[in-house]
Structure 1
Amino acid sequence: MKRILMAAAMALLVSHGYAQENAKKVLFVILDGIPADVLDSVATPNIDKISAIGGYTDASMGGEIGGYSETPTISAVGYNSLLTGVWANKHNVWGNSIKNPNYNYWTVFRMLKEADPTKKTAIFSTWLDNRTKLVGANLPATGDFTFDYYFDGMELDTLNFPHEKDRKYIYQIDEAVSKEAARYIQKDGPDMSWMYLEFSDDMGHGFGNSPQMIDGVEKADVQIGRVWEAIQYREKTFGEDWLIVITTDHGRTDDGFGHGGHSPRERATWIVTNSKYTNSHFEGTPQMVDILPSIANHMNLSIPKKIAMELDGTPFIGSVEATALKAELKKGEISMNWESLSKGEKGRVWVSTTNEFKTGGLDNYWLVGEVNLDDKQKKFSLNGTQSEIFKVVLETPSGYLNYWIVK
């Protein structure tokens, strides 16, 4: 295992040449299609340097198997689950065609810009659709969100990147993307950035469990080294407080060729971070949707309550009191249970019978009552209330957990 934790002190922070306390920056990276067992078995010295500062953990993609949140282990679906902090039943991306995203579930980039329009954002990507379709840049439905800087679309350039069957041109694009990400981060230090690299997934699809797949991971590690050097330069030169989160979007079938289903290996992902402030949830098996609230905690990003009550993730950075909320309806009563991650804390339970948020509206919640989070459960009567949906929310001192009961 590469799970390593180390403690260290924080430095004075400087941003854009002006002294500021707690100036925060973040880069999140998706290395496509690398199962946890592959990352564990391949030499990745640059990723190891990062995990030695913060940590490594096995993680999961795909929502609740057999439940309303079950989400395909498909690339674009995984990316959007990270970007929005919710599963496919909410963000409505079910495949790589990205037919009809529900932009009422904001991306972390839009959350940042809505909270502070002066913050700078950037994307470095080997797939154009990440910017144009998933984030929905320059679309009225996303509030005309615009990246301050983007570097993508080279997969459409067949002149400079001839599309040979061996897919080596994707590696060349990954190289260009990672070099530009390192250059721009070192020079301009955007507040929030996303780097996406594809080649490792292509090697899996083309060769399965193979030396080519291993080579793809090793190449990705070199590319990680570039952006990590840029981040270290920013921290040393400007005193900025950088968070890097590296993950993958899905695992693979046992033979390594495919993905999309819910076998243990297809769901098996991982997360690496340099954060020194991971909590007990990180030591479990966090999920793809946990990355957004973790980024938000690092950035001190205030998420509007109506959005926070819809998030499916639990932060693995910062304070956390509970996770893994579930609820069940039987004979007019709702039974809730959760995992408690703290001692002596209280929470409140809210319920709604509407889903107006899906179409841009507000849901009406009623307060059920207060709970001791140590109890890990609560049961309450609906007093004859009938509905096609019950949205159950557990409010904790640091945030919200939600679970849907749907017919």
Structure 2
Amino acid sequence: MKFQFKYYSLIALVAIVSFGQLQAQNKVLIIGIDGTRPDALLAARTPNLDQLWENGAYSFKAKTDDLSWSGVCWTSMLTGVWKEKHNVYGNGYENPNTEEYPHFFNLARQQQPDLRTYSIINWSPIHKILNNNDATVMKHKLTDGLVTKSVSKTLRNEDVDVMFVHLDNVDHAGHSTGFTPDNPKYIKAIEKSDKNIGKILKSLKKRKNYANENWLILVSTDHGGSGTNHGEATPEHTTIFYIASGKDVKKGEIQKQVYITDVAVTALKHLEIAIKDEWQLDGNVSGLK
């Protein structure tokens, strides 16, 4: 693994301390729960997610790409642009246009090269748009439990600035038994994801410097579904949820239309990255004050 560190001059540090406490460092944790319909999320027992949205900003009417395949939608989330720009039209990632429209980690590090960025995922194709020098990459397959353990360990022990986490078991349940809120197995998978998120949040709060950190937590999904599939431009497939939690969030339901592309842009804003017109981002900041 490659780690990078920030250095502060003694003079600058003394100057900051002389005026009081150190300014809290803005950091971002993004959690993606693959294939989770908003109506099913609301039907499930999810105390950890409930605490985030009930005390944060949220939309259960957000929209993903009308071509609701995982590859398309995760790329839209992480680049902040639609498929017509990032050029991912399926799960094969045949010819992604990451040179013009890169992962938002890359954009952030153009201005803050020392950012510690982590991507810890279950479904490995997500990393096809991420150069290895853009982040510390950790890949896991088959179980969200392994992802959760790795995320928890990293948050407790490493100097993380921004992290993307991908959980996949809800999507597996949808494909095998049905994407519907009246399917007990699908609901159970959502509830298990909530428990994993609870473990992640507990580890986040155990960070040594947590009191001096200003975390924005964003939770969303790539698509919904119906029957045992997705990919269509129907409300059941394209309606997603969006949750933003943290000190800088404007609490309550977000009144404007929220899109999956808003995730990257909102993360950049919280990281205090100046968003350039030349990036041609399609998303907007959602949920912040």
| TM-score of the alignment, normalized to the shorter chain, above 0.5 | yes
AA partner of residue 174 (structure 1): D
AA partner of residue 113 (structure 1): R
Identity %: 26
> Would the aligned equivalents of 2:58 and 2:253 in 1 still touch at CA under 8 Å?
no
Q: Secondary structure at the match of 2:283?
A: coil
Q: Counterpart in 2 of 1:242?
A: 215
Q: Counterpart in 2 of 1:372?
A: none
AA partner of residue 233 (structure 1): K
> Would the aligned equivalents of 2:120 and 2:164 in 1 still touch at CA under 8 Å?
yes
- For structure 1, the residue ranges without an aligned partner over 5 or more in a row are 1-14, 64-70, 139-144, 156-169, 320-407
Q: Counterpart in 2 of 1:268?
A: 239
Q: What is the correspondence of 1:45-194 to structure 2 with a 5 Å cutoff?
A: 45-63=47-65, 71-103=66-98, 104-131=100-127, 133-135=128-130, 137-138=131-132, 145-147=133-135, 149-152=136-139, 154-155=140-141, 170=142, 173-194=143-164
Query: 2 CA distance for matches of 1:236 and 1:110?
Result: 25
> Would the aligned equivalents of 2:55 and 2:252 in 1 still touch at CA under 8 Å?
no
More strand by share: 1
Query: 2 CA distance for matches of 1:235 and 1:55?
Result: 27
Q: Counterpart in 2 of 1:219?
A: 192
Matched, 1:285 2:257: yes
Q: Secondary structure at the match of 2:91?
A: coil
Query: 1 CA distance for matches of 2:43 and 2:253?
Result: 24
- Moved beyond 6 Å, runs of 4+: 15-19
Query: 1 CA distance for matches of 2:7 and 2:155?
Result: 12
The structural deviation recorded for 1:277 is: 2.3
Taking structure 1 as reference, are residues 318 and 54 closer, same or farther at Cα in structure 2, changes over 3 Å only?
closer
The structural deviation recorded for 1:106 is: 2.0
Deviations 1:77-124 (A, max 9, x none): 111001111110110001001100001102110011111111101111
The two structures have a TM-score, normalised by structure 1, of 0.62
Q: Counterpart in 2 of 1:201?
A: 171
Q: Which has the bigger relative contact order, CA under 8 A and spacing at least 6?
A: 2
Q: Secondary structure at the match of 2:95?
A: coil
Query: 2 CA distance for matches of 1:315 and 1:107?
Result: 17
Query: 2 CA distance for matches of 1:21 and 1:211?
Result: 46
Taking structure 1 as reference, are residues 56 and 62 closer, same or farther at Cα in structure 2, changes over 3 Å only?
closer
AA partner of residue 134 (structure 2): T
Q: Secondary structure at the match of 2:225?
A: coil
Taking structure 1 as reference, are residues 76 and 61 closer, same or farther at Cα in structure 2, changes over 3 Å only?
farther
Query: 2 CA distance for matches of 1:272 and 1:304?
Result: 25
Kindly name which structure, 1 or 2, has the bigger radius of gyration based on alpha carbons: 1
The structural deviation recorded for 1:270 is: 0.2
Taking structure 1 as reference, are residues 284 and 146 closer, same or farther at Cα in structure 2, changes over 3 Å only?
closer
Q: Secondary structure at the match of 1:195?
A: strand
Q: Counterpart in 2 of 1:158?
A: none
> Would the aligned equivalents of 1:29 and 1:245 in 2 still touch at CA under 8 Å?
yes
Q: Which segment drifts farther, 231-240 or 88-97?
A: 231-240
Which among 38, 43, 46 is matched to residue 45 of structure 2? 43
Q: Secondary structure at the match of 2:264?
A: helix
The structural deviation recorded for 1:293 is: 1.4
Aligned Cα root-mean-square deviation (Å): 2.3
> Would the aligned equivalents of 2:67 and 2:232 in 1 still touch at CA under 8 Å?
yes
Q: Counterpart in 2 of 1:346?
A: none
Taking structure 1 as reference, are residues 177 and 212 closer, same or farther at Cα in structure 2, changes over 3 Å only?
same
The two structures have a TM-score, normalised by structure 2, of 0.86
Q: Which segment drifts farther, 241-250 or 53-62?
A: 53-62
Taking structure 1 as reference, are residues 56 and 235 closer, same or farther at Cα in structure 2, changes over 3 Å only?
farther
The structural deviation recorded for 1:268 is: 1.1
Query: 2 CA distance for matches of 1:186 and 1:203?
Result: 30
- For structure 2, the residue ranges without an aligned partner over 5 or more in a row are 1-5, 14-20
The structural deviation recorded for 1:311 is: 1.1
Which among 34, 38, 63 is matched to residue 32 of structure 1? 34
AA partner of residue 23 (structure 1): Q
The structural deviation recorded for 1:265 is: 1.0
AA partner of residue 282 (structure 1): I
